[in-house]
Amino acid sequence: MELRQLRYFVTIVDEGGFTKAAERLHLTQPGLSTQIRQLERELGQRLLDRGARTVTLTDVGAAVLEHARAALAATDRIGDTVGEFTGLLRGQVRLGMISGAASEVFDVAGVLADFHHDHPQVGISLTEDTAERMLTAVEHGDLDIALTGLTGAPTGSGIGLHVILETPLVAAVARDAPVDPAESANSITLATLADRRLICLTRGTGLRGIFERSCTAAGFTPNVAFEAAAPPLLLELAARSLGTAIVPALTPAEAAEFGVRTLDIVAPRIHGRLALAWRTDRPLGPAATVLLGQLRIAFGARTPDADADLR
């Protein structure tokens, strides 16, 4: 029995089948199937029932799964313990980030540069993706830490969240657009947006998720005519009277620069949140723990009630 076979077995269970597991492990599906058959022959029992479309655990497989996870976790801790005794952090930290999160306010590059200077033996990988996919990657163990928007969907009990920014969502329209009778004191109700052509961030992003859930709670499906990955493009489309953009709050100077005016969304007010996410139901490696601490210190909490961990 080899540890890699146990890792393959656990990954198949986590991904719900051989196809996705093979993609995640960067293996061919026949090769992965061969490894699992070898493991089953050595144990003398089938671990998985292979259906036409689904893969399920046998009773033996369910019992073995718990021990397989424990064995893999123990193996990871051995390397971490040796690193702690030598006083030198080693290993790899996998960080995910939503597009556009790196800015003067959130100097991700600066934090990573300082971390690399202090711990040159630690490899760092950085990827950009949508909030939904990154939270899933953290849950599955494919990312150690994510700087991500929150979609409003419940997160698993094993995910820790540290909110570092909370900002209201606003509706942006062309600066010279006629004033809608539904507007009142530079605000508009969420229900009024049901009748508008909307310009939104792409599906899977935190702001899109929280906005759509708010619309569903209000009893309508938003009419999204345009979508893009970056708020500046949303504002450019709105400035050309192609619709109403749903974006994070702007300063008056920013609104003037893009040629739009903004309306506070009320009844209810909607807030987007940016957070650091990581697993809490299993130990982070020493390197990831140190980097997470530095990110939390560097970014802090941008609202009075955002410095508590949410789980």
Q: Which domains does the chain have, with CATH numbers?
A: 3-85 (1.10.10.10), 88-311 (3.40.190.290)
Residue 231 and residue 248 in contact, taking contact as beta carbons nearer than 8 Å = yes
Which pTM does this prediction carry?
Answer: 0.69
CA distance 227 to 113: 34
Q: Which residues contact 126 (CB under 8 A, 6 or more apart)?
A: 95, 96, 97, 108, 112
What's the whole-number mean pLDDT along residues 157-172?
Answer: 92
Answer with the residue of higher pLDDT: 309 or 210: 210
Beta strands (DSSP E) in 159-258 are 159-174, 187-189, 198-201, 224-228, 244-248
Residue found under tokens 């949140």: 273
Q: Which of 88-92, 214-218, 234-238, 302-306 has the lowest mean pLDDT?
A: 302-306
- What average pLDDT does this structure show over 220-228? 96
pLDDT of residue 80: 60
DSSP one-letter code for 48: E
For 131, the token pair is 């909030």
Note the pLDDT tens digit of each residue in 87-118.
Answer: 456 788 999 998 777 665 678 888 999 999 88
- The answer to whether 92 touches 125, Cβ cutoff 8 Å, is yes
Q: How many CA atoms lie within 13 A of 195 on its CB side?
A: 6
Rounded CA-CA distance 6/9 in Å is 5
Average pLDDT of the chain to the nearest whole number: 86
